Structure 1
Amino acid sequence: MKKFLAIIISILVLSSLLAGCGKSKASSTPVNEIKQKGKFIVGLDDSFPPMGFRDEKGEIVGFDIDLAKEAAKRMGLEVEFKPVVWDGVLLSLKNKDIDVIWNGLTITEERKKQIDFTKPYLEDRQIVVVKGNSNIASKKDLAGKVIGLQLGSTSEQALNSDAETAKSIKELRKYSNNTEALMDLKAGRIDAVVVDEISGRYYVAKNPGDYKILNEDFGKQIVGVGVRKEDTAFKEELDKVLDEMKKDGTAAEISKKWFGADILTK
């Protein structure tokens, strides 16, 4: 009898150990919590044409909007677009007010300390826009001038990376979005705007003669979709879908719609 009980106990202990091992193995597999939720929420600045902005009907449209909608469809998910204050967008992501930042977000080492990114899908420059009749022709001409840029954007980092130019300017004004900065430039309240090329060129093209772009810039940057560090399974699936969209030409068609050419990274 004692021998029989010993065998039963041994079996129970072994079963418990095996169950524990199975549980440990399963828990090590990343869980796609966003996919389980059935949708993902995109945080964006809705005054950032052509990446994401409101059309004449008040609908949010743009290049990144079309990319996000196509990616969501392929992932079997719904997508919601939520305007946020750009200066606090990283906090909104970490607090789970939004699930991704998909809005021409530049990949920087500082941001990578706080969030994760998909593979880069665009390359962008930080350009200088001045009035069409301005005598500013180079970065040296910005000395003693008032410069505008978007608060919380990488435009400020790009400007500060050129210490000589940053030190020479008279004043730096920060705006909640690029549209406000460019409107102040047109009104003559500032002398130049440092802005993402993808947004700046779109705005300049929509206002022929009002603006011009300097040949010099503040360097190139790469753009990706921002995600939370813990959402590894979601990021992996999103990377896969974006790769598929590039390979089958869908992403290129979206790019041509908004830029007139395929400007996606290969």
Structure 2
Amino acid sequence: MKTLVKTALFAVASLAPATLSTAAFAADLPDLGGREVVMASENTYPPLQFIDTSGAAVGWEYDAVAEIASRINITVVYENTSWDAMIPAITAAQYDVAMNGITIRDDRKEQVDFSRSYLTSQMRMIVAGDETRFDDAAGFAADPDLLAAAQPGTTPFYVTVYDVLDGDEANPRIKLFETFGASLQALRVGDVDLALSDSTAANGFVAASGGALKIIGDPLGTEDFGFIFPKGSDLVAAFDAALDAMEADGTLAALNKKWFLDYKMGQ
């Protein structure tokens, strides 16, 4: 699944006009008869999903789900929930599906089912715009006075622990926050010195910060994103079929351009 055509940073390089129409795939897609599907989201992960200045929930994932819903004939009802509650709630089948830039990982597969990967991203280091004390992961790790922010249980938390620091999940240099937004606020006011995020969100936050934040160092690995479902959900195959069609006809590439080029340039 880790093909560059699904990577936000590279997919926009292959935006040739689609040679196959949506109609060409329609016969191969399931029709779920307008079935109601409850989708959980946190709305804190631009440009994947967030609340815009008008108060509307928007983003790459919202556009993708709207397209999926049209293709497989479902009616999506959105429910807001926190990241900490999301995977347990899906495990307990309190929602039908969830989206939040969720990294596909083997340990999570024990609790939930994933769709195929719809996007691949890399972890990036976000620091204050005037940061000069370090410029990469090694420099951060070498200074015991520097602190990192992270949400517990997330990919940025584990990358901070194992790729930046010493592998100790209880390392006091990691300050835990309930939301990524709180982590960035702590970074802005100087309570912490580093926050990690996948490249999609990192680029969005930095572009919107007016120079208050910047990205340093090399990427710290890759992660594939997928929608999550309760174990055994029949929606997985339907979503996968729609995503396959959207990739083949250029829809995913068009969404990448809209949210990772046009959106960023408009900040």
TM-score, scaled relative to structure 2: 0.79
Shift of 1:239: 0.5
Per the TM alignment, residue 124 of structure 1 is displaced from its structure 2 partner at its CA by 1.3
Which 5+ residue runs of structure 1 have no aligned equivalent?
1-31, 262-266
> Is the 1:86–1:152 contact (alpha carbons within 8 Å) kept by the matching residues of 2?
no
**Residue 84 of structure 2 is aligned with which of 66, 84, 87?**
87
- CA separation of 1:85/1:164 partners in 2, compared to 1, >3 Å: closer, same or farther? closer
Spell out, residue by residue over 1:101-125, the C-alpha distance to the aligned partner (whole angstroms, 9 max, x if none): 2221100111011111111111111
Secondary structure of the 1:198 match is helix
Instruction: Report the equivalent of 1:6.
Output: none
Q: How much has 1:169 moved relative to structure 2? A: 6.8
- Aligned residue among 82, 105, 109 for 2:106: 109
The answer on whether the counterparts of 1:35 and 1:234 sit within 8 Å (CA) in structure 2 is no
Equivalent residue, structure 1, for 2:252: 251
Q: Percent identity?
A: 25
Which residue number corresponds to residue 238 of structure 1?
A: 239
Return the alpha-carbon distance in structure 2 between the equivalents of residues 65 and 48 of structure 1. Answer: 12
Name the TM-score, length of structure 1 as normaliser: 0.79
Alignment-mate amino acid for residue 38 of structure 1: R
- Structure 1 match to 2:64: 67
Higher relative contact order (Cα pairs below 8 Å, separated by 6+ residues): 2
Task: Compute the RMSD of aligned alpha carbons.
Answer: 2.2
Q: Which residue of 2 aligns with 1:159?
A: 160
SS in 2 for 1:217: coil
Q: Distance in 2 between matches of 1:67 and 1:206?
A: 23
1:138 is the counterpart of 2:136: yes
- Mean alpha-carbon deviation: is it higher for 165-174 or for 185-194? 165-174
Q: Distance in 1 between matches of 2:121 and 2:177?
A: 20
Q: Which amino acid aligns with 2:72?
A: M
Report SS of the residue matched to 2:218.
strand
Query: Which runs of structure 2 are paired with 1:216-227 in the superposition (5 Å)?
Result: 216-227=218-229
Q: Is contact 1:146–1:190 with CA below 8 Å preserved after alignment?
A: yes
Write the deviation string for residues 203-235 of structure 1: whole angstroms up to 9, x where unpaired. 00111311111123331111111112211x321
- Give the distance between the partners of 2:240 and 2:136, measured in 1 at CA: 39
Where 1:98 maps in the other structure, the secondary structure is coil
Unmatched tracts of structure 2, length 5 or more = 1-29, 263-267
Show the counterpart of 1:208.
210
Deviations 1:234-262 (A, max 9, x none): 2111111111111111222122110018x
**2:181 equivalent in structure 1:** 179
Q: How many residues align?
A: 228
User: 1:100 deviation in Å?
Assistant: 1.0
Q: Take 2:80 and 2:251, find their aligned partners in 1: how far apart are those partners?
A: 26
Q: Which residue of 1 aligns with 2:97?
A: 100
**Correspondence for 1:51:** 48
